[in-house]
C-alpha cells in the first residue's frame, strides 16, 4: 500500500486497514527529505529494498503514480497494480484538475490555497514547511470529497521538504517525456479505480495511461470523490471491485462500523 502526497504518510492508512484482516498488507513509509535529494528514482529504489519479490501493489493518489514508476522499473516484481485516485500526467489534465478544485474551493478557499502555497515556498523552517503542507492537504481534501466518512488522524507528520523535491522531479520526468512513456514496460494487469466527482479527471488520465498500458482496466464510481473507500455512497461498490481484483472476501471498511 503506497500512500499519497508526496510527503503525506498515512493518508491511505484507513484503506490499508480495511484489507489487513484478509491479507498481509505492507505500508512502506516514503523516505523523508533531508538525508538525500528525493527523486522518483530514489523512492523506487527505497521500495525495491523493502517490498517482497512478488506482490500486488496498491497506490492512492501520488502513491498510484509511484506504483506505476515502480512497476515500470521492476515489472517482474508486481503481480498486479491497483491505481486509486491516480494523479495527472500532462498539463491539460493538471489544468483541468486545478480549475475543478478552484470551483469547489470558491474565491475564499482558492485565495487561502495560494497564500499557504506562497508561505510554504518562502518558509525557512522544516517544521513550518511540514505544518503548511498539512494545512494545504486538509483544505484540498475538503474540496475533493462528496459525502465522506470521518477519518482518524494517524499522527504521522507531513514532509514539506520531501514533497517539494519529489514533485519537482515528477514534473521534470513528465516534461522530458520519460513518463508516462516508461510505463510501456509494465506487463502486469492494471486496475484503475476512480471517483466520478474526483477533481482529478479520471477519463483523461485513463486515456493518457492506456496509450502506454493497453491492459489497463478502468472503473468509475458515482457520487465519489478522491478517497472512494471513505465515500458513503461509493464505499461498497469500491470495496467489492477491489476485493474481486485481489481475490479476497468483501468486508466493510472499519470507518463505517
What pLDDT, in 10s, does the model give residues 56-68? 999 999 999 999 9
Look at the block and give the residue holding cell 514533485: 167
pLDDT at 119 over 70: yes
pLDDT confidence bin for 216, thresholds 50/70/90 = very high
For residue 255, pLDDT over 50 is answered with no
Average pLDDT over residues 25-38: 91
- Mean pLDDT of the 114-137 span: 90
pLDDT of residue 249: 53
Q: Does position 152 have pLDDT exceeding 90, yes or no?
A: no
> Which whole number is the average pLDDT over 76-85?
98
Sheet strands side by side (includes 216-221): 55-60, 78-84, 190-195, 216-221
Whether residue 254 has pLDDT greater than 70 = no
- Burial of residue 53 (CB within 10 Å: 0-12, 13-18, 19+) is exposed
Give the global pTM: 0.93
What average pLDDT score do residues 129-134 get? 90
Q: Whole-number mean pLDDT of the chain? A: 93
Mean pLDDT, to the nearest integer, of 158-163? 92
What is the second-level CATH architecture of the domain 13-256? 3-Layer(aba) Sandwich (3.40)
Domain boundaries, the chain: 13-256
Checking if the pLDDT of 253 tops 70, the result is no
Neighbours of 165 (CB within 10 A): 20
Percentage of the chain lying above the pLDDT 90 cut? 81
Amino acid at each position: 500500500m503506497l500512500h499519497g502526497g508526496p510527503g503525506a504518510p498515512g493518508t491511505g492508512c484507513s484503506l490499508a486497514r480495511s484489507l489487513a484482516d484478509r491479507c498481509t498488507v505492507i505500508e512502506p513509509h516514503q523516505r523523508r527529505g533531508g538525508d538525500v535529494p528525493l527523486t522518483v528514482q530514489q523512492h523506487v529504489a527505497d521500495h525495491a529494498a523493502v517490498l517482497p519479490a512478488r506482490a500486488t501493489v496498491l497506490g492512492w493518489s501520488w502513491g498510484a503514480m509511484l506504483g506505476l514508476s515502480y512497476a515500470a522499473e521492476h515489472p517482474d516484481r508486481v503481480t498486479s497494480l491497483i491505481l486509486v485516485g491516480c494523479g495527472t500526467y500532462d498539463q491539460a489534465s493538471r489544468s483541468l484538475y486545478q480549475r475543478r478544485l478552484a470551483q469547489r474551493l470558491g474565491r475564499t478557499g482558492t485565495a487561502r490555497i495560494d497564500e499557504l502555497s506562497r508561505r510554504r515556498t518562502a518558509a525557512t523552517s522544516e517544521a513550518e514547511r511540514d505544518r503548511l503542507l498539512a494545512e494545504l492537504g486538509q483544505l484540498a481534501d475538503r474540496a475533493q470529497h462528496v459525502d465522506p466518512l470521518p477519518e482518524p488522524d494517524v499522527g504521522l507528520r507531513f514532509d514539506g521538504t520531501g514533497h517539494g523535491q519529489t514533485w519537482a522531479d515528477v514534473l521534470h520526468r513528465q516534461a522530458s517525456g520519460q513518463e508516462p512513456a516508461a510505463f510501456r514496460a509494465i506487463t502486469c494487469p492494471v486496475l484503475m479505480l476512480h471517483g466520478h466527482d474526483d477533481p482529478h479527471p479520471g477519463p483523461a488520465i485513463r486515456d493518457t495511461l492506456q496509450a502506454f498500458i493497453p491492459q489497463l482496466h478502468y472503473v468509475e464510481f458515482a457520487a465519489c470523490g478522491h478517497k472512494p473507500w471513505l465515500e458513503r455512497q461509493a464505499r461498497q461498490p469500491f470495496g467489492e471491485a477491489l476485493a474481486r481484483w485481489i481475490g479476497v472476501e468483501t468486508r466493510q471498511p472499519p470507518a463505517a462500523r
